[in-house]
Amino acid sequence: MEAQAVKSNLVLILDFGSQYTHLITRRIRALNVFSLCINGTSSLKSIADLSPTAIILSGGPHSVHAPNAPCFSPEFIDYVESNNIAVLGICYGLQLIVQQMGGEVKVAGKHEYGRMEIVVDKAEGLFGNKKVGDRQSVWMSHGDEAVRLPEGFEVVARSQQGAVAAVENRRRRFFGLQYHPEVTHSPEGMDTLKYFLFDICGITAGWTMEDVLDEELKVIKSTVGPEDLVICALSGGVDSTVAATLVHKAIGERLHCVFVDNGLLRWRERERVMETFERDLHLPVTCVDASEQFLSKLKGVTEPEKKRKIIGSEFISIFDSFGHELERKLGKKPTYLVQGTLYPDVIESCPPPGSGRTHSHTIKSHHNVGGLPKDMKLKLIEPLKLLFKDEVRELGKIMGVPQGFLKRHPFPGPGLAVRVPGDVTLGNHLDILRRADEIFIQSIKDAGIYDAIWQAFAVFLPVLTVGVQGDQRTHSYAIALRAVTSQDGMTADWYCFDQKFLAELSTKICNEVPGVNRVLLDITSKPPSTIEWE
């Protein structure tokens, strides 16, 4: 789905670096309104090309007084006013509106962080559905505050300390909240967002996954020529499978899928995945065993980013060879390559607002967005690139992808290479990890908690530890277990297992996996860590 395909009711979020920015996107989509997030410093043309109905300026870690503080384009205010577009600034976004429109922002005498109570001063505009004197708990996180408002603006709510909590200029359609309505710590925040979208902006809640399906089918059919051949890189995960099903629905047998065994798959993954493709999804899939090719290129490589780049490059090499084989058989070169890139993949490959960089400070490169060669001959089709994981699952359900497959935990494109720190080809590290991971996942399923967890997996730690097994001293490896809960993968919390479950699981892994004498549990959230280890 291309952003330009959304003709009306688009809520555009300008990202100024808040850790909550993409939560705004999710909250609005949950209201059946399409929302999209772009860099806050994007050009006016980038904004105007999307024709937004409403714009939200996110929070951010910067001060509007700081050198090179991120800001919207100089023509932004004239553009939104001339097009009657309502603007809501949140936290840093509010301060930006105040400063850029002639008001004054100063360092606050008392910083406000965490839960605070605000009081409604005026029951109109953003609080048109409230009463004067109404109180609500909100989540504050700011060190600066608005001390003088631009002409025509008024305060509509204050914090319990008397600081400005909400401002607006209804005539010019500018609104601002000093707190974060998008977080669950602001219990009435969603009501305020709803009121802004539906009552102030007049937006209609009508965006559904059925609309996405219809729109994407049209886009694919209009993009791919009537005789063009398309290759799809199937990983066995939810994303690539839904993408393949979607394209297959649009162009039929002109789609040729390839599943690559790169030697970095989980226990019996190849057999399980191919069975699902052939028996349940009826997708035309060719399986290529390239495990020796991948592992030989990875031998001796320890740096995580280099491993990802090598894997991405080898995938493209295989797709290229597959394309030549198709040309030999069918007499025509493939034109397109389908990938299951998701919105979080795109987001994590973008430069942070206010960083001063034109290229990404990479959290991790994805072989589908960060590892493609510039001279690649195949054109890309990425039908899911504006969707979050839960939306992809909903889309797959509509198209009849089996529920059991849709509920599978995410599995990274580079496979187990990101779960074996260092050289993945040493000894039997991969085999040890596969066996431990299989026990972990099967135990979770047997306990009936698989669906309550966003992602779970084992990690091989290349560290020898001393243990005692069978009355003998051992010098074996440690396995770390990682399980998280999340909504879209952008943030995550570790899953709290029952202690008895962990005790039994640790014993099982140490008893059944040769070479392991210690099991650890990763209890780190995202942030500060990523979900995967590398």
Binding-site annotation: residue ranges for ATP: 235-241
- Residue 83 CB partners (closer than 8 Å, separation 6+): none
Alpha-carbon gap, residue 240 to 246, rounded angstroms: 10
Contact criterion met (CB below 8 Å) for 107 and 144? yes
Alpha-carbon gap, residue 410 to 237, rounded angstroms: 6
Beta strand 11-15 pairing with 164-169: unpaired
The sheet carrying 379-381 orders its strands as 285-289, 255-261, 229-234, 334-338, 379-381
CA 8 vs. chain centroid, Å, equals: 24
Annotated binding site: 235-241
In the annotation, is 350 catalytic? no
Contact criterion met (CB below 8 Å) for 139 and 115? yes
In the annotation, is 201 catalytic? no
Q: What is the DSSP string of 101-162?
A: TT-EEEEEEEEEEEEEEEEES-SSGGGTTS-TT-EEEEEEEEEEEEEEPPTT-EEEEEETTS
The sheet carrying 164-169 orders its strands as 35-39, 11-15, 54-57, 86-90, 174-177, 164-169, 154-159, 104-120, 135-148
- The partner residues of 176 in beta bridges, in order of sequence, read 89, 167
SS (H, E, C) 277-314: HHHHHCCCEEEEECHHHHHHHHCCCCCHHHHHHHHHHH
Enter the tokens of residue 421: 């720190």
Exposed e or buried b per residue across 261-277, where buried means at least 16 C-beta atoms within 10 angstroms of its C-beta: bbbbbbbebbeebbebb
Q: Active site residue: 145, 168, 182, 394, which one?
A: 182
Q: Active site residue: 37, 91, 232, 257, which one?
A: 91
Three-state secondary structure call for residue 259:
strand
Alpha-carbon gap, residue 140 to 315, rounded angstroms: 46
In the annotation, is 111 catalytic? no
Q: Active site residue: 180, 248, 256, 366, which one?
A: 180
* Surface-to-core class of residue 314, CB atoms within 10 Å of its CB (0-12 exposed, 13-18 middle, 19+ buried): buried
Residues serving a catalytic function are 91, 180, 182
